[in-house]
A = this chain, B = another copy of it.
Amino acid sequence: MRNVDAERVRALPLFSGVSDELFRDVTGGCFLQKFPAGTTLLMEGDPVDFLYVLLDGSVELGASWNDKETTLAVLQPVSTFILAAVVLEADALMSAQTIERSDILMLSGEALRRAMKEDAQFGFAVAQELSGCYRGLVRSIKNQRLRGGLERLANYLITQRVKQGGGETFTLPHEKRLLASLLGMTPENLSRAFSTIADYGVVVNGPQVTIARPVVLERLAKPDPLIDNHRPHGLGPVGEAQRERGLGDHSPQAGL
């Protein structure tokens, strides 16, 4: 692992309170791998032996059943994933695959569990991270069950605007097909939702989105701090836990 990468991992909230020695223990037998776009890292039901840390690129977490698929989250660096499965030594409940070329660090699950049992501070940090992920999922379910497709899109756009600095115009971070899956709808429906939402002052030009009248859009979206989590996206690594505590950002579709 390069030194730069080590520092980025070290700076994760997960490792903030731990000693250098423990950090070395945990990151001892780790791999740093580069994967091309579209690589499946993990399939549903696979046993999980490593904690994954996304250092560069992006990763989709998804699930499927009966020939249907859905996207549960799209991760941006720096994020850890499948922490819960590692803690329980359980099989993965979702699949993970790279969206673009990605650098991924793989930490030994066994070393991680050992460290948790030895260092209460670290165990607490893990519990905080898990709590943040948990709350992200609660937000996601509320978003899914209580809002319609149009409202989900409107809130997503508002979240993105804030996350990207709050300017009038911003860029969609993913392909629309992926965004549709993340929002729990079909690409066709997302397209229609975009054209409907034009009436609320949203102008779409490819991946460029301009929110002309935020007030009007908010009247449609009715954003709620108990579902959405608007914060300017972290300078510096921000864990799920911190975001949940109001020190960083969290969207309903992130988490884990």
Contacts and interface: CB of A to CB of B under 8 A. Distances in A.
Interface class of chain A by DSSP:
helix
Given A135-B90, A146-B65, A117 B128 contact: no
B141 A144 contact: yes
Interface stretch (A118-126, A157-165, A167-175, A188-196): A118-126
Contact of A93 (B44, B65, B135, B256): B135
Interface in A68-107: 68, 70, 72, 83-85, 87-91, 93-94
Contact of A90 (B222, B224, B244, B256): B244
B87 A146 contact: no
Q: Counting chain B CB atoms within 10 Å of each CB, which of A70, A94, A226 scores highest?
A: A226
Interface string A215-256: 000000010111100000000000001001100000000001
Instruction: Determine how many copies of this chain the complex contains.
Output: 2
Contact of A128 (B45, B88, B121, B142): B88
A135 B48 CA distance: 14
Contacts of A116: 120, 123-124, 127
Given A85-B135, A141-B137, A141-B144, A226 B123 contact: no
Q: Counting chain B CB atoms within 10 Å of each CB, which of A83, A126, A141 scores highest?
A: A141
Nearest to A242: B88
A63 B142 contact: yes
Interface of A: 44-45, 63-66, 68, 70, 72, 83-85, 87-91, 93-94, 113, 116-124, 126-128, 130-135, 137-142, 144-147, 184, 222, 224-227, 241, 244-245, 256
Q: Which 6 A-B pairs rank lowest in CB-CB distance, beginning with the nearest? A: A123-B123, A84-B131, A120-B120, A130-B130, A65-B146, A137-B137
